Amino acid sequence: MENTVANERNIQIYPLYKAFAWDMFFYYSIAFLFLTQVKNLSPSEVLLTEAAYPIFKMLLLIPFTKFIEKQGKRKSLIFANISIVLSISILIFAQNIWYVFAFQLFSSLGYLIKGICETNMLYDSIPRNPKRGSLFAKIDGKATSYYYYINSVASFAAGFLYVINPYIPMVLCLIMSVIATLLCFKFKEIDDERNEVKENHKDNTKGLLKDILKSPRLINLILFGALFYGLLAILTTLRTSLLDEIRLPEQYFGVIFALLEIISGITTMNQNKFHNKLKNRTLAVLSIPVTVSCIILGVVAKSNIPFMFVIVILILLYIIQYVMKGPFYILIKRYLNNFTTHKIRNKISSVYNLVENISRCIIALISSILLKYTTTANTLLIIGTIYTILLLAMLINMKGKVGLNPEEYTEKDIKLSLIHISEPTRP
């Protein structure tokens, strides 16, 4: 009974929490401008500090995975959000690039823990039944859409507030993070271990990495998701850099990104429709338009067509990217959860986060080098071409089916999904 009450409490709080905590409001629409104009970093240095972010996450992954296992998800989330508050405070008072590296350190620590704990806490809080996966996607999609709607308002205001005083968006960002931290205290710890057999846990999880390597679907899912995430992460900076490069007035940055956040919120809310219609081809449909749009962005930005036409085309291409972005974040977690039960879910998430951070680090370093010697337009053209080739090669290898439906598991996939005590959702 006590655990049931805790489950319901977490499910109720989660959408509100994620709306405030998933990312830093008021920041990303003006981040590039703040770092280059206020903190005097070059575009190449901005991307260099972003490359440090996944490096820090990889270094912190093992010790803080153990930290989570020892402290539990609730205490870990509180610690993570305090770390985010500290990181924003450091950035506000930053005097040189080393302060920005410190910001990335504490930010990476916070989001590392949040990335492992948030969705896993939600999944553990949902009652076990055949519709657990779809219910998880529905609740997480609802929570994420709240974030996008709130962030659209924040992004809209950030551009105008930045023109008044560039520190106003940062202070508001700090306040939102404090609210997220306070909401963490309302969560209840879920001890899902009570419902599982403990005797063979050590034996069952001992060969997890070997089993991952035996599952072509899971390997491709992890690699595909990590590669695409790395691209999405770096596009946040490149989109802003491109608008700055074509000399769009700063106050309009927030307007554009507000529109994009609203669109992403709508598509995230309806991500289940993507999955139901496209099934195993969902990730293919979500990814390739994004990579191709990067190529077109580079071409259009370099063209000699009238400025207003350039702006319109850029916004339309940004819309394509945001339409695909929201559902991806939800569905990749859903597909990974298809493979796992409670005891190995954290470990699968840790492996995925490791590969994800390697991907993000590599693409950030490549982008930093490219921006040092060429324009943002050329950088997008080169990166878009590379990613289109890579993802198409993986899709061809997997016959376009990267997402996972339990009814289409292979024998090896089933063996992996049953590595621990199977749930009712398992085949």
Q: What is the mean pLDDT of residues 29-45?
A: 90
Backbone angles phi, psi at 72, to 5 degrees: 90, 165
Residues with Cβ within 8 Å of residue 397, at least 6 apart in sequence: 220
Task: Give the C-alpha separation, 214 to 208, whole Å.
Answer: 10
Instruction: Look at residue 358 and tell me whether its pLDDT is greater than 50.
Output: yes
The sign one gets for the Cα dihedral 59, 117, 326, 355 is positive
Rg of the chain over Cα atoms, rounded to whole angstroms, equals: 21
Task: Give the C-alpha separation, 192 to 6, whole Å.
Answer: 11
Domain contains 22 = yes
Instruction: Look at residue 99 and tell me whether its pLDDT is greater than 90.
Output: yes
Percent of the chain with pLDDT over 90: 26
Determine contact, residues 288/392, Cβ cutoff 8 Å. Answer: yes
The sign one gets for the Cα dihedral 163, 89, 23, 36 is positive
Domain contains 219 = yes
Joined tokens for residue 248: 């769009």
Supply the pLDDT for residue 346: 62
Instruction: Look at residue 211 and tell me whether its pLDDT is greater than 70.
Output: no
Q: What is the mean pLDDT of residues 144-149?
A: 74
Supply the pLDDT for residue 292: 94
Domain contains 170 = yes
What residues make up the domain containing 325?
A: 2-189+202-417
Most confidently predicted of 106-120, 252-266, 337-351: 106-120
Domain contains 258 = yes
Task: Give the C-alpha separation, 374 to 235, whole Å.
Answer: 16
Task: Give the C-alpha separation, 97 to 46, whole Å.
Answer: 9
By mean pLDDT, which of 94-103, 207-216, 292-301, 372-381 is the weakest?
207-216
| pLDDT tens track for 229-250 | 889 888 888 888 898 888 888 8
Joined tokens for residue 249: 């007035």
Domain contains 141 = yes
Higher pLDDT, 43 or 412: 43
| Other residues' Cβ atoms within 10 Å of the Cβ of residue 96 | 10
Whole-number mean pLDDT of the chain? 79
Determine contact, residues 101/239, Cβ cutoff 8 Å. Answer: no
How many angstroms separate the Cα of 392 from the Cα of each of 216, 227, 279?
Answer: 16, 12, 18
CA angle 227, 232, 233 (to 5 degrees): 95
Domain contains 194 = no
| Other residues' Cβ atoms within 10 Å of the Cβ of residue 101 | 16
The sign one gets for the Cα dihedral 216, 417, 349, 17 is positive
Q: What is the mean pLDDT of residues 32-61?
A: 90
Task: Give the C-alpha separation, 293 to 319, whole Å.
Answer: 10
| Helix orientation angle between 73-92 and 168-184, rounded to the nearest 10 degrees | 170
SS3 55: helix
| pLDDT tens track for 174-207 | 998 999 899 888 888 876 543 443 434 444 444 5
Task: Give the C-alpha separation, 321 to 294, whole Å.
Answer: 9
Joined tokens for residue 235: 């596009």
Instruction: Look at residue 342 and tell me whether its pLDDT is greater than 60.
Output: no
| Other residues' Cβ atoms within 10 Å of the Cβ of residue 62 | 11
Backbone angles phi, psi at 279, to 5 degrees: 50, -130
Supply the pLDDT for residue 83: 95
pTM of the model: 0.71
Domain contains 265 = yes
SS3 198: coil
Supply the pLDDT for residue 174: 92
For every residue of 7-19, DSSP letters joined together read HHHHHHHHHHHHH
| Other residues' Cβ atoms within 10 Å of the Cβ of residue 375 | 17
Percent of the chain with pLDDT over 70: 78
Instruction: Look at residue 171 and tell me whether its pLDDT is greater than 90.
Output: yes
Domain contains 149 = yes
Higher pLDDT, 354 or 292: 292
| Other residues' Cβ atoms within 10 Å of the Cβ of residue 305 | 9
Supply the pLDDT for residue 376: 92
Task: Give the C-alpha separation, 24 to 101, whole Å.
Answer: 17
Instruction: Look at residue 295 and tell me whether its pLDDT is greater than 80.
Output: yes
Supply the pLDDT for residue 316: 92
Residue 34's domain is classified under what CATH number?
1.20.1250.20
Residue among 184, 204, 185, 167 at smallest CA distance from 89 = 167
How many angstroms separate the Cα of 25 from the Cα of each of 252, 361, 415?
Answer: 17, 23, 42
Task: Give the C-alpha separation, 150 to 275, whole Å.
Answer: 25
Per the structure, the count of domains in the chain is 1
Task: Give the C-alpha separation, 334 to 358, whole Å.
Answer: 21
| Other residues' Cβ atoms within 10 Å of the Cβ of residue 156 | 20
CA angle 136, 138, 142 (to 5 degrees): 115
